[in-house]
Amino acid sequence: MISGAGPTGLVLALDLARRGIAVRVLERSPRPQTGSRGKTLHARSVEIMADLGVGPRIAEIGTASQKYRKYFNGEHVSDSAPFGESTLFLTQTGVEEALREQLATHGVHVEFGAELTGFTQAEDRVVVELADGRTAETGYLIGCDGGRSTVRRLLGLAFVGESAQEQSMICGDVEVDGLDREYWHQWVDDEGAFMLCPFRGTSAWQVQTAPEFTEDGSMIEPSLESFQRRFERHARVRGLELRNATWLSSWRINVRMVEQMRVGRVLLAGDSAHVHPIAGGLGMNTGIQDAWNLGWKLALVASGRANGTLLDTYQEERLPIAAWTLNLSTERLDAAMAKLHVPGTGLDTVAVTEVSGLGINYRWSSLAGQSLGVLQAGDRAPTGSAAGPLFTVLGFGESGRAGQREVADAHPDLVRAGAGAEGFGIEGDAVALIRPDHHIAVISTDADPVLKYLAELFN
């Protein structure tokens, strides 16, 4: 049972459902969320979406190589496209809709208006309590319910870190005519900034700007009127009227994470386990990648094919990544703020290679076996070498291909024989096993270490 129907919860539900695991998704909101919210899918998340079958849909609604148009003191100073084709800009609403549609093909539908209010754990189950008085039993409960997670609170886990009240932002979706929709317009001056980002296939623009404050220092809640005042102040454009504000939100810097992501049969993923600065668009992406790491492990355990201790490797692998992400997003925010008032720079500084997610590895994990060649166990496998919900085994050289067949035949329901063995840097004969989340499990000269690895993993 998954609490929370954002991208993290939906990716996890979809990954479980396609593996034949019965899953329920509870969402306390009475209907799907509106508003653009998180708007960036980086390369690793785009790969995950493709594997889950929603690649064509997000490509249809997303914009690759989003162009930035930067202004300083009202004057156009430069254009750029700091992120390449592998990054998509699109609404979080669109991502969630695509995932819900794909989830429905497996007969699973989000239960809107179902609010989790409590749970108790037993040795073999979790009993969940809902706000309407119902109870339900489940094998495992996963809290994907955001930064104010009810599941985390009920577990009694501290959310360690800090909030910076003085660093805040107001956001929203508006419509406006007279601006080129090919660009994310970014107006900066010595007093602040105002940004308008368009979305493909819609008339909406996402607003990001600093809030207004009253004389006593209280933040004024976002409104269409405050957006208009901020626009005229920073863009210095006359005659353009913002209208139809369909989503209004305020945001402040939060850098927090839990110290554990599993307590018995209850686990946390996404913002319920870690929140970070907005720089680099890493929040939604990190949650998606949490779900991607957890899905195959939870499926093997829930189906009885692997021991429950496999779930301990979820926390082992993802907690260090959460900490790294907090550090990266904080450092990128500081870099962006430092250059915000340098004409033509600013947000370009967050477009560093690390945000793509392609370089994330689990070399330190207990699931990382032996290695050969350039790539190491725990690294992400080269593009095209693995796909689908199963383990993939590759063979290099004649005896390696014989070992590949031996491994695939030994576990036909869990391992597939793959192709596309370029990029490993292997010379000579070898057998490589790739995890369902596309990370390398083991590379050896023959099949025996791979067979031993699988025997230890599976019941």
Q: What is the pLDDT of residues 296-314, one digit of tens each?
A: 999 999 999 999 999 999 9
Q: What is the mean pLDDT of residues 160-188?
A: 88
DSSP code per residue over 101-135 = HHHHTTT---EET--EEEEEE-SS-EEEEETTS-E
Helix (H) or strand (E) holding 299: helix 282-302
Q: In this structure, are 156 and 180 located in the same domain? A: no
Fill in the DSSP letter of residue 428.
S
pLDDT above 80 for 337: no
pLDDT above 60 for 165: no
pLDDT above 90 for 9: yes
Q: In this structure, are 351 and 426 located in the same domain? A: no
Q: Is 304 left (phi over 0), alpha (psi -120 to 50) or beta?
A: left
Domain of residue 328, CATH code: 3.50.50.60
Pairing of strands 160-175, 243-257: antiparallel
State the pLDDT at residue 272.
Answer: 97
Share of the chain above pLDDT 70, in %: 93
74 contacts 62 by C-beta, under 8 angstroms:
no
Would you place residue 167 in the very low, low, confident or very high pLDDT band (cuts 50, 70, 90)? Answer: low
Q: In this structure, are 277 and 402 located in the same domain? A: no
Which domain-ending residue is among 253, 286, 312? 253
Q: 20-24, 186-190, 275-279, 331-335: lowest mean pLDDT where?
A: 331-335
Half-sphere exposure of 48 (CA within 13 A, CB side): 35
Would you place residue 84 in the very low, low, confident or very high pLDDT band (cuts 50, 70, 90)? Answer: confident
Would you place residue 164 in the very low, low, confident or very high pLDDT band (cuts 50, 70, 90)? Answer: low
- Tell me whether residue 70 is in a domain: no
- Tell me whether residue 76 is in a domain: no
Q: In this structure, are 332 and 313 located in the same domain? A: yes
Which domain-ending residue is among 301, 333, 356? 356
pLDDT above 60 for 351: no
pLDDT above 60 for 50: yes
pTM of the model: 0.95
Q: What is the pLDDT of residues 318-333, one digit of tens each?
A: 999 998 888 777 665 6
The rounded mean pLDDT for the chain is: 92
Q: In this structure, are 346 and 445 located in the same domain? A: no
Would you place residue 283 in the very low, low, confident or very high pLDDT band (cuts 50, 70, 90)? Answer: confident
- Tell me whether residue 208 is in a domain: yes
- Tell me whether residue 155 is in a domain: yes
Q: In this structure, are 115 and 23 located in the same domain? A: yes
Kindly tell me the burial class for residue 259, based on how many C-beta atoms sit within 10 Å of its own C-beta (0-12, 13-18, 19 or more): exposed
Domain of residue 451, CATH code: 3.40.30
Q: What is the mean pLDDT of residues 36-59?
A: 96
Which neighbouring-strand residues pair with 175?
Answer: 243
- Tell me whether residue 68 is in a domain: no
Fill in the DSSP letter of residue 179.
S
Q: In this structure, are 284 and 433 located in the same domain? A: no
Q: What is the pLDDT of residues 255-269, one digit of tens each?
A: 899 999 999 999 999
State the pLDDT at residue 328.
Answer: 75
Q: Residue 452 is part of which domain span?
A: 361-459
Q: In this structure, are 139 and 259 located in the same domain? A: yes
Q: In this structure, are 13 and 102 located in the same domain? A: yes
Number of folded domains that form the chain: 3
Q: What is the pLDDT of residues 241-260, one digit of tens each?
A: 999 999 999 877 788 999 99
Q: In this structure, are 247 and 294 located in the same domain? A: no
DSSP code per residue over 60-100 = HH-EESPEEEEEETTEEEEEE--S-TT-EE--HHHHHHHHH
Domain of residue 189, CATH code: 3.30.9.10
330: amino acid identity, one letter: T
- Tell me whether residue 426 is in a domain: yes
Would you place residue 374 in the very low, low, confident or very high pLDDT band (cuts 50, 70, 90)? Answer: confident
pLDDT above 90 for 166: no
State the pLDDT at residue 443.
Answer: 96
Would you place residue 354 in the very low, low, confident or very high pLDDT band (cuts 50, 70, 90)? Answer: confident
Q: What is the mean pLDDT of residues 107-131?
A: 97
Which domain-ending residue is among 323, 338, 356? 356
Q: In this structure, are 214 and 285 located in the same domain? A: no
Q: In this structure, are 158 and 173 located in the same domain? A: no
Q: What is the mean pLDDT of residues 75-96?
A: 94
